[in-house]
Structure 1
Amino acid sequence: MNCLIIDDEPLAIDIIAAHCAHHSDIKVIDTCCMAMEAFQALHQYEIDLIFLDINMPVVSGLNFLKSLKEPPAVILTTAYPDYALEGYELNVVDYLLKPISLERFNMAIDKVRQRLALPKPAVADTASVRNLSAAQSGPVKNFIFIKSNGKLVKLDFSDIHYIEGMKDYLKIYTHDKVHVIHQTMKNMEEQLPESLFRRVHKSYIIALNAIKQIDGNCIETEKGGVPLSSTYRDALLKTIEK
């Protein structure tokens, strides 16, 4: 399936693209931050599936969808549940609320396959998923965008010390400040390269370069101590001892 991601938030685009990389039958053809760009993409490419944000500048996602005479399969993505009924009246395949978990995303993709009468591909192994992700994403990025205090903030991976999870919120500890964002640990973990970051506790992800020493079940960093649970201990030690 050739897919198009339409969203005015770079972070949301990154999350959806990362989720797509887990499916060998999905190829991200293009990404757009405005409806006008999306019109051009639909004329330029053969698109089977659109991930469409609702709240966008100038032309909303719903108005964009209403303007298409023969739209491809559409999955609406939004932080607001208010438009679900109108979305289904427009015959969308599914309606995903942000932050979008991989499990919920996979359910939506299965619905698309059923509508398009496509077979479900075999599950790819971890290495294949990483290779597919790299191939679709192009050059490897060394940063992410987060939404903090109503603004999109660029964070270099090298600036992040560790991340603390609090249900659907995260605290990202950097060299000079702490960012609090509305996102899950699972979504964040999927965006971070495994070569630079590791999950060390159900509520913590740490940058490998930030580790000063490990004392029992505590990892010491310049920003303070981070707990190390037995679940992740062996994998972390194997990584840092290589």
Structure 2
Amino acid sequence: MVKCLIVDDEEPARELIRLHLSDFEGFEVVASLDNGLDAFTFLQKNVIDLVFLDIQMPKISGLELIGALKAGPQFIFTTAFREYAANAYELDVLDYLVKPITRERFMKAVFRYMHKNMQPPPDYQDAYHFFKVGREQVKIFLKDIIFIEGLADYIQVHTVHHAYIASEKLGYMEEKLPEQEFTRIHKSFIIALDKMTSYTAEQVKLGDRSLPLGRLFKGNFLKKVSSKTEKN
């Protein structure tokens, strides 16, 4: 059972999240709170897996709450303000939902949580994905991918053997690829971490190809690089 906490100073907003969440089996709303300070106290005493968190609230903001926690659950922001997105992703939140939150957008956020936490990782050496290339479905092993470039409604999959133009969107691939092996470094690029040869504050190098490192993606990129380094 996934234990959830809802934190929002508006009761209708809390009830809407509870309603959306009722569509999913295995998710339990343990508590629903109207301010960040009570949420901070609650999280010190209870084990929670997922928090739906507003940003602008009385006492302390959602951003301040996450900053005050040394460790804790995963967070999905639910806010009426788009301008905090950059701050949110620097805190490595799972998703950022802008009110009014539609059922479809909410489902996407929950599926993202499920994909990250509730599926057993495949054997990476044997893992593959079928890409629609022209009229064919082309099987590409994930271990062969160097990076993927977004081209509007298409992507270009660069592998160790060939580059393929496939009918897919980059955002979809970001959700489908194993996050421990791949990371998005720019609005237009996803890279395979094991193919990276060097990086700076502005770019990532994969062999003889240099790709830009976007500001919004830098925090998550550095976190993954650090995690990989510690494991090795």
TM norm structure 2: 0.50
TM norm structure 1: 0.48
